[in-house]
Amino acid sequence: MALVTDGWNDLLVSNEGGIVTVTINRPKALNAINMELMKELEAFFEGLKDAPEADVIILTGAGERSFVAGADINEMAVMDSQTGRGWALLGERVTSLIERAPQPVIAAVNGYALGGGCELALACDFRYASANAKMGQLEAKWGINACFGGTQRLSRAVGAPMAKELLYTARAIDADEALRIGLVNRVLPDKESLMAAAIATAKAIQGSGKCAVRYTKLLVNDGRDMPIDAAIAAEAQYFGLCFDDPEQKARMTAFMNKSKK
């Protein structure tokens, strides 16, 4: 199945040589999440399982001001316990699809990444941020808890004590603090340099073996919740599978031939 790049209402999708940029495109609402957007994200990331032409995904927001400013409060304000749980389950499906996408997913965080926006970024493999980024889980301010996996992924990213402080106080942090605590990998001056850095890293990833990268992602993700002996055993299993990949044979042969010259 080919990668779907057209026909989205709230997403802009482009594929440049296997580097797929997915832009959340609701700039007038600071790219805030609503039901339609979440269903489009679910459909897009579900489709990546059958999109061999996609090597690396970059997830970002339209404009300079916001990655995703959070969920649409107008939609949430009328929820009851049943509809609230359904909303949370949808968000958890989307973030799980992002986290478990076969391809590496880089979050390019431009501006606000709050609430559900922070949770979308946390589901990515790693995060780059522009200098104007503001990140945080503000849900407790509205009398709710984070519900797209934020209570779990934030603590895994920055450690439980720091995550608890940010979750309990509903405090947003700037890009420099996000870098200091390990929430983001790099801080870039502006949106242009942010996207350039994300694309450069995506190209570097393309320089590695596709199966090797995908197996590594699986091992890192799954190994977090496994006993270390089982995780290391899985590592050996996937290492063996690499040798069934024609690309691996070609890469190793090319290296040996080059070294003989």
Query: For strand 56-61 and strand 19-24, is the pairing parallel, antiparallel, or unpaired?
Result: parallel
**Which one from 16, 40, 46, 139 is the annotated catalytic residue?**
139
- Beta-bridge mates of residue 107: 59, 127
> Catalytic annotation on 192?
no
- The tokens for 30 are 């600071």
Angle, in degrees to the nearest 10, between helices 210-223 and 228-242: 170
Q: What is the CA radius of gyration of the chain?
A: 19
The number of CA neighbours under 13 Å toward the Cβ of 31 is: 29
d(CA 173, CA 98): 23
**Which one from 16, 75, 99, 119 is the annotated catalytic residue?**
119
d(CA 55, CA 143): 40
Question: CA nearest 12: which of 115, 211, 31?
Answer: 31
> Catalytic annotation on 119?
yes
d(CA 9, CA 17): 24
Q: Please identify every residue annotated as catalytic.
A: 119, 139
